[in-house]
A and B are shown apart, each in its own frame.
Chain A
Amino acid sequence: MTPKLTDVLDALAEQRTDQAVIATMSAGIHWPLRSRSDRDLAYYAPMGSAAAVGVGLATTRPDIDVIVLDGDGSILMNLGVLVTIGSWKPRNLLHAVMVNHKYDVTGGQPIPGLDTARLDDLARAAGVPKTRRVAELAGWKETLSEWIAVPACTFVTVEVESLYDRTEIPALINDPAALARHSFAGYAALRASLER
């Protein structure tokens, strides 16, 4: 059964230890309220930039394990970053793309290549050493526990049910836990928490 995005995020919150998490789009809206750590940055990543931030951090700070929670529509706007990740292969990067086949944030338009493109195939062709496609919560939990135990440059797509209700957004974004993790405040707080 295709899991809900919130169940996928709860599974991460449960297993996560001290990893930095960069979350965007639908995951970025819901993650701050489910996270149990302050090592988070949530934002509306323009043009799919969350994975770029993740690879920049992972490449220059090999002592920090980095999880990027991306969206399928989001990564399609920045496919070149898969080539950069495949080139550097940062051991400490898990790039997880939530796949719901829609641009939820803009009203549910279908993403291009819905029936023809497979993101995990693209990542593998770009040189990312470990790729995986999971469609059930158990597969996601297994991927997480394996990666947390032995981090390796990994790209995973996670099929999720579409979960977007525009009426919920103000409450989600204005929650103090969200405000502390979003954009300006989130970036400053995460940077401070990563200082050596």
Chain B
Amino acid sequence: MGELALALKTELERNDIRHLVSVANGEGAALYFACREDPTFTVIDACREGEAVGIGAGIYLGGHRPLVSMENFGLYECLDTLRALPIDMGIPLLLLIGYTARPKPGSEEALRARLGNAATQASLAGRWTEPILDLAEIPHFLLETATDADALSRAVELADDRRGPVALLTEET
């Protein structure tokens, strides 16, 4: 397991988060498999991101706090569900969003080396991520290394204070 995944799992336990709702994504894979291997966690695989947000809203309705994990591509898919459920209904939903193609020095070249011509599409997804979260007024924290994992506790606190969703962005757990 990666160091960040291990640290995030510890943070989940510290915040009594034992439900992970996940739409397959590479960035959160290490955390996903770590949670799957732990019988104290319930992992629900969803088919689509809007569905995952709905399941997360149902879990919170029942008195548990879930983490909903998806790609940034999936964030765009589920914006209307985010609007109508956690934002409109005041649900402090925690999102873990895979930050594909995060804009940073050298990222375009690295993407092109990895994805060839498909890098153009991925690059756009990366550029959209933070502006769209800002537009939706969803606060976000960037997780780069294991030392950033304590942002999860701060995100929980912020979500409770704001009564709305908060996102954790990561390129790899």
Contact = CB atoms under 8 A, between A and B. Distances in A.
Nearest to B83: A46
Interface in A138-196: 183-184, 187-188, 190-191, 194-196
Nearest to B42: A60
Contacts of B64: 60
B84 A80 contact: no
A45 B59 CA distance: 16
B67 interface: no
Given A59-B44, A196-B63, A53 B54 contact: yes
B50 A60 contact: no
B91 interface: yes
Contacts of B52: 52
Contacts of A47: 50, 78, 80-81
11 contacts: A45-B54, A47-B81, A52-B50, A55-B55, A56-B59, A60-B42, A60-B58, A78-B48, A80-B46, A81-B54, A83-B47
A69 B78 CA distance: 22
Contacts of B88: 183-184
B168 interface: no
B152 interface: no
A49 B47 contact: no
B58 A56 contact: yes
For chain B, which range describes its interface: under 10, 10 to 19, 20 to 34, or 35 or more residues?
20 to 34
Interface string B100-131: 00000000000000000000000000000000
Contacts, number: 118
The SS class assigned to the B binding surface is helix
A43 B50 CA distance: 16
B62 A57 contact: yes
A103 to B, nearest CB: 16
A88 B45 CA distance: 10
B61 interface: yes
Interface in B17-33: 19, 21
B56 interface: yes
Interface of A: 41, 43-61, 64, 78, 80-81, 83-84, 87-88, 183-184, 187-188, 190-191, 194-196
B34 interface: no
B80 A60 contact: no
A94 B45 CA distance: 20
B63 A183 contact: no
Given A49-B54, A80-B51, A187 B61 contact: yes
B61 A52 contact: no
B54 A191 contact: no
Contact of A52 (B45, B54, B80): B54
Contact of B90 (A53, A55, A187): A187
B81 A46 contact: yes
B90 A49 contact: no
Contacts of A59: 42, 44, 55, 58-59
B41 interface: no
Contacts of A195: 63
Contacts of A41: 61
A56 B55 contact: yes
Contacts of B58: 52-60
Which has the most chain A C-beta neighbours within 10 Å: B21, B47, B58?
B58
B98 to A, nearest CB: 19
